[in-house]
Amino acid sequence: MKKFAFAVLTMALMVSMSLAKTKDAPKAKTEKISGWISDAKCGAKIDAACAKKCAEAGEKLVVVSDKDKTIYQVENQEAVKEHAGQHVRVTATNNNGTLHVEKVDMLKEKAEKAKSGM
């Protein structure tokens, strides 16, 4: 009986700690990131033709930040698939370096660099 009571008490403690951790966990924040849609294989080596080709072959797409060349994984690939190799501003929820993209806007500046292979 003591073992059973100890097991129940332990489970109750674990559940309460789990709920407290979930409640206090920081929420992912929405942010706007300007950068390039590239493929995971090439990353920051932005080449529009290569990014499109690799995306068609099934390679995962990533966002490469203009600001510091940070490479962000994209959770919902379909949101960026049409923009492979393009200079964009994404509105996304950043969850520890993985983006859930809500909106993609094309950027006109620097578009010529992608054509030349940057």
Residue 23 forms part of a structural domain: no
CA 89/CA 94 separation, integer angstroms: 14
Residue 86 forms part of a structural domain: yes
pLDDT tens readout for residues 49-76: 999 999 999 999 999 999 999 999 999 9
What's the CA angle centered on 47, arms 102 and 89, to 5 degrees? 25
Q: Distance from CA of residue 109 to its chain's centroid?
A: 23
Residue 2 forms part of a structural domain: no
* 23 has a pLDDT exceeding 90: no
CATH value at residue 59: 2.40.50
* 118 has a pLDDT exceeding 80: no
* 18 has a pLDDT exceeding 80: no
**Domains contained in the chain, number:** 1
- How far the first Cα of the chain sits from its last, in Å, is 71
